[in-house]
């Protein structure tokens, strides 16, 4: 037992470096997925044929391809077209694009939950589409979107581990390196699991609060 505690003290500084990368990657991918997800949702919600078609095509295509394959493609294939990205950049963009589809569905559900009567009332007083979105639709849609948004953040945090396949030195990769050099798999991967849990718990609490606060009664 004392040996395991001593070993844990040696491994944690290295694993904490992975924690920093994991948190940074989560934030970067969350920004990308939120922005793109909102774009796909607004295109779908616009009712304009070509925009709806593009949105549906992108979302269905991306959702049909495993995240690992998307990461491989961005990191290993895009350089053949002259687009070279660091492992971190490829991970953030790949995860962001993959999760933008889930975000898009969350946002679309929030937009479609708005009472049509409010939209008609806004149109009747001469509100332009952009102003109506800012003043009437989006503020109400956000309340519906927040609970699933919190749950999506938790999934994204855990899926950053997939970026280890393209050499992003996040928590899982650091754990693999430490385990490979020490052969102390039990201690290392127990610490990795506990660190992921420690990162997830605040998000779980936040998601639970948002569900209680904003979910329809």
pLDDT tens per residue across span 109-165: 887 777 777 777 777 777 776 777 777 777 777 777 888 888 899 999 999 999 999
pTM of the model: 0.87
Task: Check residue 90 and give its pLDDT.
Answer: 96
The total number of structural domains in the chain stands at 1
Q: How far is CA 38 from the centre of its chain?
A: 13
Identify whether the C-beta of residue 29 lies closer than 8 Å to the C-beta of residue 163: no
Q: Which two tokens stand for residue 201?
A: 């718990």
CATH number at residue 79: 1.10.3720.10
Q: Dmax over Cα atoms in the chain, in whole Å?
A: 73
Please give the residue range of the domain that contains residue 157: 2-214
Q: What is the reported pLDDT for 62?
A: 94
Residue 45 pLDDT > 90, yes or no? no
**Banded model confidence at residue 6, pLDDT cuts 50, 70, 90:** low
Q: What are 167-208's pLDDT values in tens digits? A: 898 999 999 999 989 888 998 999 999 999 999 999 889 888
Question: How far apart, in Å, are the Cα atoms of 95 and each of 30, 36, 85, 108?
Answer: 8, 12, 14, 20
Instruction: Name the burial class of residue 78, with classes exposed (0-12), middle (13-18) and buried (19+) by CB atoms within 10 angstroms of its CB.
Output: middle
Q: What is the mean pLDDT of residues 4-11?
A: 71
């Amino acid at each position: 037992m004392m040996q395991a505690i001593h070993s844990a003290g040696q491994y944690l500084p290295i694993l904490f470096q992975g924690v920093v990368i994991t948190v940074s990657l989560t934030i970067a991918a969350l920004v990308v997925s939120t922005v793109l997800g909102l774009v796909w949702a607004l295109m779908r919600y616009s009712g304009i044929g070509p925009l709806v078609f593009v949105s549906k095509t992108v979302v269905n295509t991306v959702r049909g391809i495993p995240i690992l394959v998307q990461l491989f493609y961005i990191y290993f294939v895009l350089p053949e077209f002259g687009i070279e990205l660091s492992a971190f950049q490829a991970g953030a963009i790949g995860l962001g694009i993959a999760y933008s589809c889930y975000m898009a569905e969350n946002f679309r559900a929030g937009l479609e939950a708005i009472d049509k009567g409010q939209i008609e009332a806004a149109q009747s007083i001469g509100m332009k589409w952009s102003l109506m979105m800012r003043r009437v639709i989006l503020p109400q849609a956000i309340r519906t979107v927040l609970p699933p948004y919190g749950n999506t953040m938790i999934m994204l945090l855990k899926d950053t581990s997939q970026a280890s396949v393209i050499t992003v030195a996040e928590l899982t990769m650091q754990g693999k390196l430490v385990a490979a050099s020490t052969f102390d798999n039990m201690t290392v991967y127990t610490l990795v699991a506990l660190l992921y849990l420690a990162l997830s718990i605040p998000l779980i609490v936040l998601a639970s609060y948002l569900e209680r606060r904003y979910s329809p009664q």
